[in-house]
């Protein structure tokens, strides 16, 4: 993994592309969604897979909604977890939601009081980079990840961020995976797919103990 651009730089590039080059925001969003959906589908490798999509209320959340639509068209069973206050949603988010609501997608919404700032990492290497450079209160760590799995990532993480609570996510439910994670010091684990309400409950419980 290598550094590409920061969030601020990405916003500047988006603005220049829309305002100076003239490519509409909806086109950029569709292109981003297509790339995300193709990556997720390649990871699932099967139609009918259960996919959980997390979407905030900004334009990145709009990307997620569009990706959810594309995954539904590929035959995946998609559940969308919308985090935040709809009153604060971006224009592009609203447009994507109006389209997505016409599809057979399950929706779960959390009120604004349960909002969290979420940092996403697509690999263990990226997760470690984020942990070294930003303040993080809790980590949700998938056991099955490319390049470096969750257990290996956690072992490296303990070298410099051992005080951050970690909740493991596992699709296999294998006893060895769960026991290994807990022996390393994970505070909890959840088997995927898990109800969003249960995930929120576990997160809130761990943050309250901090």
Domain at 131, CATH number: 3.40.50.2300
Q: 43 and 109, same structural domain?
A: yes
Contact residues for 192 (Cβ-Cβ < 8 A; gap 6+): 52, 142, 169, 170, 171
Q: 138 and 87, same structural domain?
A: no
**Looking at residue 35, what is its pLDDT?**
92
Q: 110 and 35, same structural domain?
A: yes
Q: 84 and 152, same structural domain?
A: no
| Domain-located, residue 20 | no
| Domain-located, residue 14 | no
How many domains does one find in the chain? 2
Domain end point (choices 67, 82, 114):
114
What pTM was estimated for this model as a whole? 0.56
pLDDT tens digit string along 30-75? 999 999 999 988 887 776 788 889 888 888 899 999 999 999 999 9
CATH of the domain at 56: 3.40.50.10260
Q: 205 and 128, same structural domain?
A: yes
CA dihedral sign of residues 174, 176, 177, 181: positive
Q: 187 and 140, same structural domain?
A: yes
**Looking at residue 174, what is its pLDDT?**
67
Q: 107 and 132, same structural domain?
A: no
At 159, list the tokens.
């070298």
Domain end point (choices 59, 93, 114):
114
**Looking at residue 131, what is its pLDDT?**
93
Residue 157's CB: how many other CB atoms inside 10 A? 23
Domain end point (choices 87, 114, 141):
114
Residue by residue, pLDDT tens for the chain (210 residues) are 456 777 678 778 888 888 888 888 888 889 999 999 999 888 877 767 888 898 888 888 999 999 999 999 999 889 898 887 788 888 999 999 999 999 988 887 765 445 678 888 888 898 999 999 999 999 998 888 878 888 899 999 999 988 999 998 887 666 677 787 788 888 888 887 777 778 888 888 888 776
Contact residues for 183 (Cβ-Cβ < 8 A; gap 6+): none
Order of strands, sheet of 188-191, starting from the edge strand that comes earlier in the sequence: 139-142, 166-170, 188-191
Q: 184 and 157, same structural domain?
A: yes
| Domain-located, residue 47 | yes
Q: What gap in Å lies between CA 58 and CA 46, rounded to an integer?
A: 30
| Domain-located, residue 26 | no
Range of the domain at 158: 124-209
**Looking at residue 210, what is its pLDDT?**
60
């Amino acid at each position: 993994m290598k550094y590409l651009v920061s969030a601020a730089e990405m916003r500047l590039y988006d603005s220049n592309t829309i305002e100076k080059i003239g490519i509409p925001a909806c086109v950029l969003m569709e292109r981003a969604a297509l790339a995300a959906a193709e990556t997720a589908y390649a990871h699932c490798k099967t139609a009918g897979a259960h996919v959980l999509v997390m979407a905030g209320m900004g334009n990145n959340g709009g990307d997620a909604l569009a990706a959810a639509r594309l995954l539904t068209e590929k035959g995946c069973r998609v559940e969308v977890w919308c985090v935040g206050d709809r009153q604060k949603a971006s224009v592009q988010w609203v447009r994507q939601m109006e389209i997505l609501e016409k599809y057979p997608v399950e929706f779960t919404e959390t009120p604004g009081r349960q909002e969290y700032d979420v940092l996403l990492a697509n690999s263990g290497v990226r997760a470690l980079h984020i942990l070294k450079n930003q303040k993080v209160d809790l980590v949700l760590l998938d056991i099955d990840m490319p390049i470096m799995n969750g257990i290996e990532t956690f072992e490296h993480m303990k070298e410099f961020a051992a005080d951050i609570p970690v909740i493991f996510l596992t699709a296999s439910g294998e006893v060895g995976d769960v026991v290994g994670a807990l022996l390393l010091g994970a505070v909890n684990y959840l088997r995927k797919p898990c109800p969003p309400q249960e995930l929120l409950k576990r997160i809130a419980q761990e943050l309250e103990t901090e």
